[in-house]
Amino acid sequence: MSRTTPPRDRYGSDVLAGDWRVPPRGRSTEVAADRGLVVEEVETGWVGAVVRVEKAGGAHVVHLEDRRGRTRAFPLGPGFHLDGRPVRLAPPRQAAPHAAARPTGIAPGRTASGSRAVEGQRARVARGSHVWVEGRHDAELVEKVWGDDLRVEGVVVEPLDGVDDLGGALEAFAPGPGRRVGVLVDHLVPGTKESRLVDAVLADRRWRGLVHVVGHPYVDVWAAVRPRAVGLERWPDVPRGQSWKHGVLAALGWPHADQRDVAHGWKRILGTVTTIADLEPSLSGRVEELIDFVTAPGA
């Protein structure tokens, strides 16, 4: 994108007066985020072409690809420049019905996980067997990729809010015939607190054959999203004692002051995930292992 001199003042005369991303009335133009449109995101300076727009967590997200082929996701709306002019990005113009139904990257006849799509089938009544994950972000990521499969199979995915009381949760659920539990644990590597908790639970013979626990090596499920999706070669190293999520947002140059910023950052990351190919195999393989466990004959 060309830049003119003298440089423009993208922030206005008073950076504290309201939301600087929203230009004064009359200065902003609404533009459809059609594929190929090149814009600049003013907060980060990221310049890229629109490759897709999708809905994530109730809000639209636009994916911009720069000239090096790197892609980042941003909330649709104000905060963009087109040829030096402030614009509000709106959803793209309606495509033909046969082209609008499936997100880019998902092959016809397949789900986001790569399974064969079952067209026209209603969601199955929920099974007694469940899949448990540590938190809400884990659950949203699993839903994004495996949601179609889970509805066909009638599998419920529930966040645990951590595994510190995994034993107590199992006591309350009471696994048994037709009531298996598959558990996905973050950072399940030898020597960690998580590995000790899981070992203690699995030592209880009552859960043998009824509870299956697997894990991925990442401190947080965010890192199971391939970093190239947000324009990184690798996820940053966050110093011990610092919140990993806040550290990642800071490294990306995204707002990271409070939990609202964390939630917003996660929506941007989640918005970059379209198919199973956007995830590390060390996560996707474990999720599919759990789905197989809770849907096996007799489960």
Q: Who wins on pLDDT, 204 or 37? A: 204
Mark whether 137 and 183 lie in a shared domain: yes
- Model confidence at 126, pLDDT cuts 50, 70, 90, reads low
| pLDDT at position 48 over 90 | no
pLDDT at 199: 94
Mark whether 287 and 144 lie in a shared domain: yes
| pLDDT at position 116 over 80 | no
| pLDDT at position 21 over 50 | no
pLDDT at 247: 93
- Long-range Cβ pairs for the range 22-31 (8 Å, 24+): 22/78, 22/79, 23/78, 23/86, 27/86, 28/78, 28/86, 28/87, 28/88, 29/82, 29/85, 29/86, 29/87, 29/88, 30/87, 30/88, 30/89, 30/90, 31/82, 31/87, 31/88, 31/89, 31/90
Burial 152-178, CB ≥16 within 10 A → b, else e? bbebebeebeebeebeebbeebebeee
| Model pLDDT for residues 152-192, shown as the tens digit of each residue | 888 889 999 889 999 999 999 999 998 999 999 999 999 99
Q: Is 8 left (phi over 0), alpha (psi -120 to 50) or beta?
A: beta
| Model pLDDT for residues 56-86, shown as the tens digit of each residue | 666 788 988 776 678 888 899 999 988 778 9
Q: Count the domains in the chain.
A: 2
Q: Is 39 domain-assigned?
A: yes
Domain range for 216: 130-225+273-295
Residue partners of 73: CB distance under 8 A and separation at least 6 = 61, 62, 63, 64, 229, 230, 268, 269, 271, 272
CB 186 within 8 A of CB 194: yes
pLDDT at 123: 43
**Range in 16-30, 81-95, 217-231 the model is least confident about:** 16-30
Domain limit, last residue, from 101, 121, 147:
101
| pLDDT at position 253 over 70 | yes
| Dist CA 72 CA 62 (whole Å) | 8
Q: Is 284 domain-assigned?
A: yes
Percent of the chain scored above 70 by pLDDT?
78
* Candidate ranges 34-38, 180-184, 226-230, 232-236; pick with highest mean pLDDT: 180-184
Residue partners of 183: CB distance under 8 A and separation at least 6 = 131, 132, 133, 160, 163, 166, 198, 211, 212, 213, 214, 290
pLDDT at 217: 94
| pLDDT at position 122 over 80 | no
Rounded to an integer, the average pLDDT of 244-264 is 91
Q: Who wins on pLDDT, 219 or 116? A: 219
Number of C-beta neighbours around residue 290 at 10 A: 26
First to last CA, the chain: 57
pLDDT at 67: 66
- Model confidence at 20, pLDDT cuts 50, 70, 90, reads very low
Mark whether 145 and 87 lie in a shared domain: no
Mark whether 136 and 89 lie in a shared domain: no
Q: Is 253 domain-assigned?
A: no
Mark whether 63 and 176 lie in a shared domain: no
Q: How far is CA 84 from CA 15, 29, 42, 51, 60, in A?
A: 19, 12, 10, 20, 23
> What's the pTM value of the predicted model, to 2 decimals?
0.62
pLDDT at 47: 83
Rounded to an integer, the average pLDDT of 131-136 is 94
* 130 DSSP β-pair partners: 156, 181
| pLDDT at position 94 over 60 | no
Mark whether 80 and 2 lie in a shared domain: yes
* CATH number (domain holding residue 143): 3.40.50
Q: Let me know the angle formed at the C-alpha of 280 by 274 and 284, rounded to the nearest 5 degrees.
A: 75
Mean pLDDT, the chain, whole residue set: 81
**Range in 53-62, 96-105, 136-145, 289-298 the model is least confident about:** 96-105
